[in-house]
Amino acid sequence: MSRTSAAVEPPADAVRPVRHPDAPAPGELLGAHYGECFGCGGEQAHGLHLQARAGEGVTVTAEFTVRPAHQGAPGLAHGGVLASALDETLGSLNWLLRTIAVTGRLETDFVRPVPVDTVLYLEAEVTAVAGRKIYSTATGRIGAPDGPVAVRADALFVEVKVDHFIDNGRPEEIRAAMNDPDQVRRTRAFEVNP
């Protein structure tokens, strides 16, 4: 039996992803796309503060340290928090395509418990693109970048226009994001996919 469902399997007409020529160079930190983002934002006290770095092709690596605020069972990371770390890492791949996309489906395997204070070493890759649909996969390892796999995920992201956020988000946060003094974050949010 396949580990993943058909929803995250690229269709026959899917193509290989193409790294955007202006994508950050391999090794470069991507930075947060939004200061209040639970996954990557620096302004969220209990957020993941996940730092993603561009890799070769359409890949990223990221690190996330499990803090006491991220517990489910005593001393162990909450599964939803680990899914968030995978989601954020996978979401950051879309910046290498210069595409704004949201998670349509995220299928997660929790392979090993992840204790508080553990660094989760994540790597993710876009495997295929079919129209607006972006297929990607990620793993999270503990102990070291080549340590044992603790979590993994397969995902389908769907490309959206910036109207997705304007129509559905709250005006005050949209305004604040538009006025963000950080030009890269503004570009990422509003100029990539007008």
Ligand X SMILES: CCCCCCCCCCCCCC(=O)SCCNC(=O)CCNC(=O)[C@H](O)C(C)(C)COP(=O)(O)OP(=O)(O)OC[C@H]1O[C@@H](n2cnc3c(N)ncnc32)[C@H](O)[C@@H]1OP(=O)(O)O
Task: Write out the residues near ligand X by the rule CB under 6 A.
Answer: 7, 33-34, 39, 87-88, 91, 100, 102-105, 131-133, 156, 158, 160, 165, 174, 177, 188-189
Give least dist CB 133 to ligand X, A.
5
Between 98 and 112, name the residue whose CB sits nearer to ligand X.
98
Q: How far is it, in rounded angstroms, from Cα 5 to Cα 7?
A: 5
Between 39 and 140, name the residue whose CB sits nearer to ligand X.
39
Nearest alpha-carbon partner for 91 in 30, 47, 151, 42: 30
Q: How far is it, in rounded angstroms, from Cα 126 to Cα 58?
A: 6
Between 102 and 111, name the residue whose CB sits nearer to ligand X.
102
Enter the DSSP assignment of 117: T
Give least dist CB 148 to ligand X, A.
25
Rounded to 5°, the CA angle 67-68-73 comes to 115
Give least dist CB 57 to ligand X, A.
20
Give least dist CB 42 to ligand X, A.
15
Distances (CA, A) of 121 to 10, 19, 76, 128, 141: 26, 22, 16, 23, 5
Give least dist CB 90 to ligand X, A.
7
Q: What are phi and psi of 73, to 5 degrees?
A: -70, 155
Q: What SS3 class is residue 63? A: strand
Between 148 and 175, name the residue whose CB sits nearer to ligand X.
175
Between 34 and 121, name the residue whose CB sits nearer to ligand X.
34
